Amino acid sequence: MRTAIHWTPARLLRTHDVARDIRLFEIAPEGGARTNAPGSHINVALVINDQADSRSYSIVDSSLEAYRIAVKRCAPSRGGSQAMWRLPPGAPLTISEPHNHFALDFDRTDYLLVAGGIGVTPLMGMAAALARTGKAYRFVHVAPTRTEAAFVQELRDAHQARYEPRYSREGATLDLALEIARLAPQGQLYFCGPMRLLQAARAAWSAAGRHAADLRFETFASGGRYAAEAFTVKIPRAGLEVRVGETETMLAALARAGVDIMSDCQRGECGLCAVDVLGCEGTIDHRDVFFSEREHAQNAKMCACVSRALGGGVSIDTAFRSTASLLDA
């Protein structure tokens, strides 16, 4: 179950490679694209490992006709990027309307945008909006090499000296403490990138004595501390036991078993899919960024969309009630 998602038929108009392993997709929903604020994403319904599933992708920008999203092809992914890359131009699709969990506040005068790799996508709309509204901002874009950085020329043209690409394997460094020190005291940092870079950004932000709420972020699902393995999830109250395959999420396995869990981002960010953990035979590999490290250590809750168990299984409880149990109540 998702939160108030309305699905719409759509068509893939065209694709275009914008960097090594990063492809731009132009997707036209029936009836035209909706207006969307910077940081918005759409969900794309896909068949992944023979199961109906979906993935959310940030909107790079949109026209009246179509949304543009960019997808990085990842070999050891949960299968979403591979499914997207197999789509031919003209392919029929089903997509959601835009949603936004990464909204830009316009009430500050100074902003720092930090993108890691494909994390550039939601920040492009933010940078454009900040430029339009005359705000002070800097946009730091980190990628391993020039060939792996998408949209560089487009961003250079749009933002000139405010845009600073840095290529780590070509000798550039990112000193987050220094970048944060250059931001006005009431400024905000918007970050989108991989988990390790987010952890560094959070640590630098905290060490600088900045207000936690002024660091806004989105990240990619973490690969976890451990390799994925199959495990069993039990819901004692419902008398259910479900096997979660190595390549599927707990959320998908439970949905297959008829257990609807509220979800949205499917990237471990929004916390909507969190379930209560009653017990674990092995270890829980928390892969979300919604809960803090302290909460992860407590193991009281886990995000079903990304987090996993290993070494046996996990017992959980959810707000789910079957139709039968509702009738019995």
Nearest approach, Cβ of residue 271 and ligand FES (Å): 5
Of 79 and 271, CB closest to ligand FES: 271
Contact between 309 and 284 (Cβ < 8 Å): yes
The verdict on 122 binding ligand FES (CB under 6 A) reads: no
List 95, 253, 272, 310, residue binding ligand FES (CB under 6 A) = 272
Written as one letter, the residue type at 186 is Q
Out of 53, 179, 218, 269, the only residue in the binding site for ligand FES (CB under 6 A) is 269
Candidate ranges 83-91, 172-180, 259-267, 294-302; the one touching ligand FES (CB under 6 A)? 259-267
139 makes contact with ligand FES (CB under 6 A):
no
The one segment of 68-76, 137-145, 154-162, 257-265 that binds ligand FES by CB under 6 A = 257-265
- Answer yes or no whether residue 222 interacts with ligand FES by CB under 6 A: no
305 contacts ligand FES (rule: CB under 6 A)? yes
**Nearest distance from residue 204's CB to ligand FES, in Å?**
24
Binding status of residue 266 toward ligand FES by CB under 6 A: yes
**Of positions 303, 309, 310, 314, contacts ligand FES by CB under 6 A:** 303
**Should residue 288 be labelled a site residue for ligand FES when binding is judged by CB under 6 A?**
yes
Among 270, 275, 284, 310, the residue binding ligand FES under the rule CB under 6 A is: 270
* Of the candidate residues 263, 286, 301, 302, the single one contacting ligand FES (CB under 6 A): 263
Q: Does 265 bind ligand FES (CB under 6 A)?
A: yes
The Cα 218–Cα 40 span in angstroms is 11
29 Cβ partners below 8 Å, 6+ apart?
Answer: 8, 9, 10, 66, 67, 95, 97
CA distance 119 to 136: 21
Please identify which residue in 268, 286, 287, 309 interacts with ligand FES, judged by CB under 6 A: 268
Look at residues 67, 54, 51 and name the one whose alpha carbon lies nearest to residue 266: 54
In the 3-class helix/strand/coil scheme, how is 287-323 assigned residue by residue?
CCCCCCHHHHHHCCEEECCCCEEECCEEEEECCCCCH
217 scored as a contact of ligand FES (CB under 6 A): no
Among 67, 137, 290, 320, binds ligand FES (CB under 6 A): 290
Here the tokens at position 86 are 């197999």
Nearest approach in angstroms of CB 28 to ligand FES is 26
Q: How far is the CB of 150 from ligand FES (least distance, A)?
A: 25
- Comparison of 127 and 233: residue with beta carbon closer to ligand FES: 233
Instruction: Please identify, using beta-carbon distances, which residue of 62 and 219 lies nearer to ligand FES.
Output: 219
Among 264, 287, 310, 316, which residue sits at the site for ligand FES (rule: CB under 6 A)?
264
Cβ–Cβ contacts within 10 Å for residue 3, how many?
Answer: 10
* Euclidean distance between CA atoms 59 and 39, whole angstroms: 7
Of 2 and 23, nearer to ligand FES (C-beta) is: 2
Kindly tell me which of 87 and 270 has the beta carbon lying closer to ligand FES: 270
**Which residues contribute to the site for ligand FES (CB under 6 A)?**
263-266, 268-273, 288, 290, 303, 305
